[in-house]
Amino acid sequence: MEGIAGIVRGEQTNAGEPLYEEGRKLYTQEINAAVRGAKAAGATEIVVMDHHGAGKGYSFNSLIPDELDVDCVYVVQENWTEYTAFLEQGVDGALFIGMHAMAGTENGVLNHTVSGPDYQNLWFNDTLVGETGINAALCGTWNCPVLLVTGDTAACREGTALLGDGLTTVEVKQGTGVRSARLLPPKRAWELVEAGAKQALSKLDAVAPYDPGKPCEIRAEFKWTGPAEKLRRRAGVEILGPRTRHSVLWASAGRSAETAARAERVGLLDAETTEELSRRSELILSICPPHAALDVARSVAGFDGLFVDANAVSPATARQIAAEFEGFVDAGIVGPPPREAGSTRIYLSGRDAETVAGLFAGTALEPRVISEEPGAASALKMTYAAWTKGTAAMLLAIRALARSEQVEAALLEEWQISLPELPERSAVAARSAERKGWRWIAEMEEIASTFASADLPDGFHRAAAEVFRRAEAS
């Protein structure tokens, strides 16, 4: 709405303001001009979408219904970009009427992105976009090209830079500031918009549907901390700082359909290959079965960002991985999947550990920096798991021995009397080993090598690895 001829002040676009009714009339008549142009070009079905959030009951509902051209249908929606059925059914071309420039554009009349009070910048991958880009990407999802952009000089220039020289533009005003402009009289502007719509629809292949790239990382910088805070626990979102967020990528190559389904369910974006993931990322977080940790690290050799290894590996293995990267943080996760605050911690060590801790601050995964030396976090993980999973292996082995000697029932009865927690603990250990024991084999071997490097007996955890190996085979 801000790019409509005759509109230069926010009061013309905000519901409840005295000038808003004037803005609605100008808006409706300029839309009508575009409808007339589309009809002249031969359009047989014209759908008008109001994308202006005026506030109160007028958000996406600013058009004056009884003044709209009778040869269109129009949509009122609750939320921006909510209604996509017509795009899904197939649209030949989109006409963007009354567009404004993105936030921070010099001489862009009423320039902003999405929400003036909240958003500073928005990127699709490395491309800075405004609302023209956002709406063009929505249309492009269903292979619909944007053929026309009308608005002030800055908005038209922004549209051409993004969509190419084939785009038809109509400048209805030239901004001289945020709330000032040199304007065409509305009736003259409507003539130009009508002609522009007819011209734009005369060549439907003049502009390719906009594709920001696949995968597409969306990064937003806000003007204050509130909007980022609301997104903090949303799946697939990473907080870069108090005012910035971006998406999280994963690589599907070689992964199962079940893994892909889980990634999609939590909103991760598929980079397909580790090479593409490495190219697009600033930080890589590696969490995999311990036996694969070195291979995963080597698969992104040459990555120049920050590599965080959060695998259950020995300090020696962690340092070996660290040698592959300029930026490296050693990490160890203790606790169940972090679904609620206070349940799970990620211990961090290394020169950039505080940077990584900042990324997790305020999330369900509590960061704890314990050293500037890589290997310390892995050492803590090894000593912790030496007890938790090591004793699980011992319980499995004890019950297997009792079964072999045909005294398991008597043992369980004695445990119930003298050590009442052990029957359930051993049952939990058996269930866990059945599902995840294959992952613990290498972890026990890493723990054993950690003991050996400290000149301590390593046989117990090598035996634990064998217990889990046998549990996997049974």
Return d(Cα 329, Cα 319) in angstroms, integer.
Answer: 10
Strands 180-183 and 218-222 come out as: unpaired
Q: Which residues make Cβ contacts (< 8 Å) with residue 144, sequence separation at least 6?
A: 87, 91, 92, 93, 94, 209
Nearest Cα residue to 3 out of 101, 77, 91, 79: 101
Q: Which residues make Cβ contacts (< 8 Å) with residue 102, sequence separation at least 6?
A: 108, 111, 112, 113, 121, 122, 128, 129, 130, 131, 132, 133, 158
Which strand (E) or helix (H) includes residue 56? none
Digit-coded pLDDT (tens) for 75-130? 999 888 888 999 999 999 999 999 999 988 989 999 999 887 778 889 998 899 99
**Architecture of the domain made up of 10-200:** 3-Layer(aba) Sandwich (3.40)
Domain residue spans in the chain?
Answer: 10-200, 248-280, 380-473
Q: Which pLDDT tens digits describe the chain residue by residue (474 residues)?
A: 999 999 999 999 999 899 999 999 999 999 999 999 999 999 999 999 999 999 889 999 999 999 999 999 999 998 888 889 999 999 999 999 999 999 889 899 999 998 877 788 899 988 999 999 999 999 999 999 999 999 999 999 999 999 999 999 999 999 999 899 999 999 999 999 999 999 999 999 999 999 998 888 888 888 777 777 777 767 777 776 665 666 688 889 888 988 888 888 777 888 888 888 888 888 999 999 999 999 999 999 888 889 999 999 999 999 999 999 989 999 999 998 887 888 899 999 999 999 899 888 777 889 999 999 999 999 999 999 999 999 999 999 999 999 999 999 999 999 999 999 999 999 999 999 988 888 899 999 999 999 999 999 999 999 999 999 998 877
pTM above 0.75, yes or no: no
215, two tokens: 């995968």
Digit-coded pLDDT (tens) for 203-248? 999 999 999 988 888 888 887 777 777 777 677 777 766 656 666 8
Q: Over the chain, what is the mean pLDDT?
A: 92
Distances from the Cα of 370 to the Cαs of 283, 328, 345, 375, 415, in angstroms? 20, 15, 12, 10, 38
Which residue has tokens 């950690």?
Answer: 450
**Residue 168 in contact with residue 199, Cβ under 8 Å?**
yes
Classify domain 380-473 at the CATH topology level.
N-(1-d-carboxylethyl)-l-norvaline Dehydrogenase; domain 2 (1.10.1040)
Return d(Cα 74, Cα 2) in angstroms, integer.
Answer: 19
